[in-house]
Amino acid sequence: MRTLTATVALVSLAVLGLSAQASAFEGGGRKPSEAPLITVGQQYNGQLNNHRDDANYGGFREVAIWRLPPVTTRDVVTVDWHSVPFTGRSGEFPICVTLAQGVDDYNWGSVFADATRYSCNDDGPAFKLSASGTARTEIVVQETNANSSYLEFFASANETSPAGFETFPYDFTVEPILHYLGLAMRAVKRVSANGIVYATATLANGLPAPDGLPFSLAVSWGNDGTASYTGVSGGGVVGFQLALPETAYGKNASFTVSHPADGTYQAVSSAKLRVPVAKPKTPPPSPCVLAERRARSLKAQYQRLRRHAGRAHGATRRTLRRRAARVKRKLNAARARVDSACA
């Protein structure tokens, strides 16, 4: 009877052990076809373990695979770790993460092997978790991919002794994916203090950045001269109307254009442009001034012809009066343009 009781107890413990081991892996999929789709901004929970019998890669690593939404080249995927995965060894963080693209159930292991052949670090391709409980891992996407980009969370799984078994719970959120912006200032030899400087903004595929994106221009010269301006994109071009003070005249100034991270696009700054600042150009006359000048000139011409015609006789008088009449018609048209341009 005692033997039967002991046998039942051993079987119960074995079943409990198998049950505990089977439930140690939670969240994610064991292969790409099983990977759940990540919704940006939603918090997820998972759990890995160090049991060799539960490893799904090479008999020594456990990998949880999560599918990303569509991404494009040079996007930044940010993994926000809400809590630090723990381990029985103080100060050690057992879970790393890597990005895999273009993989399926048959080749994901070979791609994983290439990405993780070196130890996890801050620069990837296998990223380690820092010691901060509010850590964020930023991963730059290498290729445009609509439906086969994955985050792979993994831990070493080579423990065979139940006394050394551990589980590693983790939770994370993928922040809004930030798209790449390219930004470059147009090269010039000098800049007028009241001129316009331009920058070109492009997407990763070379197309113009969307219209309406805000950009800032920072200008500095001398020991402490500074100025700043704002502009918005249109057709991939941003223009900044300058109004630099006299202290900038004749000085070499540095110009830098930037765009802050905005939840859709990454933060970006252009390379610094350093050129001399020329004195302001005299602005061209306005349409109103030009119209008034034309009207005054025609008025003087008309009055002069009238005076000459008054002193002339015969055919000369008739000729001068005809010319005066033509100028009169032009003068009337010029006065109408003045009314329109100066309204």
- The partner residues of 87 in beta bridges, in order of sequence, read none
DSSP 232: E
Give the start-end residues of each E strand in the chain.
Answer: 43-49, 61-67, 76-81, 96-101, 126-128, 136-140, 149-156, 167-174, 182-185, 191-192, 196-202, 214-221, 225-232, 237-241, 252-259, 268-269, 273-278
Topology annotation, domain 182-278: Immunoglobulin-like (2.60.40)
> What CATH architecture applies to the domain 23-174?
Sandwich (2.60)
Query: How confident is the model at residue 83, as a pLDDT?
Result: 63
Mean pLDDT, residues 88-117 taken together: 85
Compute φ and ψ for 58, nearest 5 degrees. 60, 10
Query: How confident is the model at residue 135, as a pLDDT?
Result: 76
Mean pLDDT, residues 209-229 taken together: 96
Query: How confident is the model at residue 268, as a pLDDT?
Result: 96
- The partner residues of 231 in beta bridges, in order of sequence, read 215
Please tell me whether residue 1 adopts helix, strand or coil conformation.
Answer: coil
- The partner residues of 197 in beta bridges, in order of sequence, read 240
The predicted-structure confidence for 115-141, as pLDDT tens digits, reads as follows 888 888 878 899 887 555 557 889 999
